[in-house]
Structure 1
């Protein structure tokens, strides 16, 4: 079976956020994540740093905390073209918004529940940030986990790294990879179809400490963690941005070979946080 990991590896590159208060949200990412304004079409705000970037769509009241697109970067125009050819009739034109940080030729796909992924080749090569934290993965809640996972695995080419299984045998969470990192995308079964969080990967435990101190400076406290996840084995903590979007800082995420058999974890607090209390969504 052709997978992204073995044929056209992808990394999460940037996010398109909807906000009813875009200037407030932009100020948060400029201050805390050292992003700077970038050129964007009318109606959009674009911010970029070394290994993190965001596009903010001006939205109506009630659109805060929603994700317009998650953008994944291919390594080359040749690999992007190969992916486009394989995806065939589900490819859609990205438009001007899709080419803020990507070269001409970027495209989108829409999953069975309306989520949009953007694929492209970055316009510029990224440089290290003064405080390491590369945008690395994003997670969603879904009302139909089986159908969504089937689409991303069998149609797009993601690979299952780990599953969390409930006592009745039903899969509760699925972690998906698009290169050698444990996951760049994940879904969990829930009562709504909503965006859950996005994550920035640092280099070590000391980075986690330094980022926690940075959020403390503006009195933005940790609401989950610090701890260590079971699937992925990564250190983490979570805060929220002004729109209520959940933001994770992580370190030591597991590297996974292409031949790895998916792991199976019990649906319990220890799986979510082997150091203590877990945050189990409903």
Structure 2
């Protein structure tokens, strides 16, 4: 893999959500979304993607308030974890925990900190992998977690934090005449983006995306979720930036979840980020099968203001 992150950050591991409707959400992720409940631990539930070696890609926590608990990224070594923690501390980034043995499923070694918007971010290494398998033809379940997109009311500041502090590279940007820069796609490996920052009214989860095996499996999964009566926000279609397909749904607690496939890999170090005008219909959907992007569609993914800003999750 080329273009490795200068601080040893390798990939997106998991996104951890606190929800008020725990049992409803467990049923949704197992029976409708196609993840495997890998384990239960009291008020925690861990969900794996069958095609991924990660212990889990979504963690649910039963809570009185809905919030993002944390986003976890992998690192290539304990040395990288230690060096990054020391760097962040010296730059005034607030550490939530010092590097040490992790108490969560799969163990490992890592630390947590608040990003510039107050999200809890975890960097970890040496986490045990799980037995995974090749997803078969026609099997419409997620292969892996693809990317996480977060709302920020100052997306350029957030982009700069991830670029300058954590070594993420900018892949592309969406721009609108009235709103300015609307979304920044950031990468830490050769996938077009593992993280994106969207312009929103407040800090919150915009969406979490899952890679499907191929176009047929992506469409079958999209249809299954639609038939289950889950609200589809947008799609199916194919974005320009990243060249990936999209179908967005609202999970029962109001977080947007996406099925995608064929996300672009960036094979060249001479990549020049493009700025795509959202007024061009091809920017949002090359196929023309999705409804045109509108304020109504956009508003669905603004989400509620996150209750977890600058508050570390209990676990």
TM-score clears 0.5: yes
Q: 1:38 to 1:126 in 2, by over 3 A?
A: same
Q: Structure 1 residues 243 and 76, CA, compared in 2 at 3 Å: closer, same or farther?
A: same
* Cα distance between partner residues in 2 of 1:168 and 1:244: 27
TM-score of the two chains, using structure 1 as the length reference: 0.86
Question: CA shift at 1:267, angstroms?
Answer: 2.6
Q: Normalising by the residue count of structure 2, what TM-score does the alignment of the two structures yield?
A: 0.78
Q: Counting helix residues as a fraction of each chain, which structure ranks higher? A: 1
C-alpha RMSD over aligned residues? 2.7
Task: Point out where structure 1 has 5 or more consecutive residues left out of the alignment.
Answer: none
Q: Are 2:272 and 1:261 aligned?
A: yes
1:136 is aligned, of 117, 127, 146, to: 146
Alignment partner, residue 60 of structure 2: 56
Secondary structure of the structure 2 residue equivalent to 1:137: strand
CA separation of 1:108 and 1:259: change in aligned 2, threshold 3 A: farther
Residue number among 276, 287, 294 corresponding to 1:275 in the alignment: 287
Residue 10 (structure 2) aligns with: 10
Task: Describe the shift of the 1:199–1:225 C-alpha distance in structure 2 as closer, same or farther (beyond 3 A).
Answer: same
Matches for 1:155-166 after TM superposition, within 5 Å:
155-166=165-176
CA distance in 2, matches of 1:221, 1:168: 28
Asked if the contact 1:94/1:118 (under 8 Å) is kept, the reply is no
After superposition, the Cα gap between the structure-2 partners of 1:27 and 1:264, relative to the gap in structure 1 and judged at 3 Å, is same
Asked whether the 8 Å contact 1:13–1:136 carries over to 2, the reply is: no
Distance 2:230 2:153 in 1: 31
Q: Given the superposition, is the C-alpha separation of residues 68 and 96 from structure 1 closer, same or farther in structure 2, using an over 3 Å criterion?
A: farther
Give the match for residue 307 of structure 2: none
Q: 1: distance between equivalents of 2:230 and 2:98?
A: 35
Matched, 1:112 2:113: no
Per-residue CA distance 1:107-164 (angstroms, 9 max, x = gap): 1121122111111122224513643431111111211112111111101111100012
Instruction: Name the CA distance, whole Å, in 2 between partners of 1:46 and 1:94.
Output: 24
CA change 1:94–1:251 in 2 (3 A) is farther
How has the CA–CA distance of structure 1 residues 104 and 251 changed in structure 2, closer, same or farther, with 3 Å as cutoff?
Answer: closer
Give distance in 2, aligned partners of 1:203 and 1:240: 22
**Residue in 1 that maps onto 2:68:** 67
Q: Where does structure 2 lack aligned partners over 5 or more consecutive residues?
A: 136-140, 300-315
